[in-house]
Amino acid sequence: MTNPAILANDLRKSYGEKLVLDGIDLAVPEGTVFSLLGPNGAGKTTAVKILSTLVTADAGAIRVGGHDLAADPQAVRAAIGVTGQFSAVDGLITGEENMLLMADLHHLSRREGRRVVAGLLERFDLTEAARKPAATYSGGMKRRLDIAMTLVGSPRIIFLDEPTTGLDPRSRHSMWQIVRKLVADEGVTVFLTTQYLEEADELADRIAVLSDGKIAAEGTADELKRMIPGGHVRLRFADPVAYRKAAAALSEAQRDDEALALQLPSDGSQRALRAILDGLDSAGIEADELTVHTPDLDDVFFALTSTSTSTGTGNNAPKEAVR
Ligand code: ADP
């Protein structure tokens, strides 16, 4: 890899007895979107906090933006922006005032600060709401304000911790557009955590699945899908006699006697389908319904995180609270 924006080697972290990160390696090339995918409680936020200097790792070598995190955390902080569950948005003051505070923090002159803030408010569709207290904003608007505040400092690397958790579908799609534009227009590197497979599939160049403190798998969405033999063909019959005959003809099929359905492992190719249909033809049977299931990220996720699914990927409550 020519220019890794983020490199971590054998990252470890425990909270008391609780082992959260059990030696993880990460390598994120510049200008790409990397997604750390895992169920609630997997350790995603902990990883973001460590990589963004907010929490110290127990062990591991980390470089962010070319800087050694342990030796020069200040340089790392100057290169990154962090948004998400520990939002910096102050609800008591207006969106614009939040932005101007960030401009002050980054030592922009008054005039330059106002220029940058006005541009970002416009870009994130917040101009109209700029003079209202941030506490009155919708979930989507707060997230947009949060990202806009991060961009005041022109970071080259942005950490987005569960940026769409708790958002409605429309706001989620608008957040995806924002992330895509950031990478395409400005070449920033995005480190994104999510519990949504669809989000990782939509946005990430590479995905790492975090499970039980380890990276269970890493690759592009397509590479991950190919790792899992989830593909199958399902045949359904209306007539129980035809079903039983088919089950006898296709002896390798998994039976679902109640639904009168047979399931056969298959890559979904024409050749594989023809073999199944030939098998049925030669027994003189016709299926009433044939469906092809190709593995998706859901299959990958559940196959890889099977031991920790009880932590519940359905918990969508946002952890942040805007004062
Ligand atoms: P995720 O972001 O994937 O939901 P977290 O990184 O927030 O996961 O948490 C991972 C685990 O570490 C959880 O079991 C959580 O309870 C625990 N944990 C996180 N922060 C602390 C802390 N400051 N003290 C003790 N335990 C913590």
CATH number at residue 237: 3.30.70.100
pLDDT confidence tier of residue 320, bands split at 50, 70 and 90: very low
pLDDT beyond 60 at 274: yes
| Placement of tokens 């941030």 in the chain | 134
Band of residue 113 on the pLDDT scale cut at 50, 70, 90: very high
> What integer pLDDT is reported at residue 2 of this predicted model?
62
163 and 250 together in one domain: no
Question: Is residue 120 one of the residues assigned to a domain?
Answer: no
Distance CA 259, CA 109 (A): 70
Residue 97 belongs to some domain of the structure: no
For ligand 1, pick from 46, 48, 309 the residue to mutate: most ligand atoms within 8 Å of CB.
Answer: 46
Q: Say what percent of the chain tops pLDDT 90.
A: 59
Cα 88 → chain centroid: 21
Sign of CA pseudo-dihedral 33, 38, 41, 47 = negative
Q: Which residue has the higher pLDDT, 300 or 35?
A: 35
- Mapped onto helix, strand or coil, the DSSP state of residue 265 is strand
Q: Is 200 in the pocket of ligand 1 (CB under 6 A)?
A: no
Ligand 1: residue of 11, 15, 196 to mutate (most ligand atoms within 8 A of CB) is: 15
* Residue-level pLDDT at 262: 94
pTM across the whole model: 0.78
Nearest alpha carbon, ligand 1 atom 5? 43
* Ligand 1 pocket residue status of 213, Cβ below 6 Å: no
Nearest residue (by CA) to ligand 1, atom 15, is 41
205: CA distance to ligand 1 center in Å?
Answer: 26
Q: Interior CA angle at 269 toward 265 and 273, to 5°? A: 65
Structure tokens at 23: 């030696």
3-state secondary structure of 170: helix
pLDDT tens profile 61-80: 999 999 999 999 999 999 99
- Give pLDDT, residue 86: 54
Atom of ligand 1 nearest to the CA of 42: 3
pLDDT digits (tens, 9 = 90+) for 144-176: 999 999 999 899 999 999 888 888 888 889 889
**What is the residue range of 50's domain?**
4-89+152-169+182-225+300-310
Instruction: Please provide residue 315's backbone torsions phi and psi, each rounded to the nearest 5 degrees.
Output: -80, 100
Percentage of the residues of the chain whose pLDDT score is greater than 70: 92
CA 190, CA 176: separation in Å to the nearest integer? 12
Residue 28 shares a structural domain with residue 72: yes
Dist. CA 320 → ligand 1 center (Å): 14
Q: Are residues 163 and 80 in the same domain?
A: yes
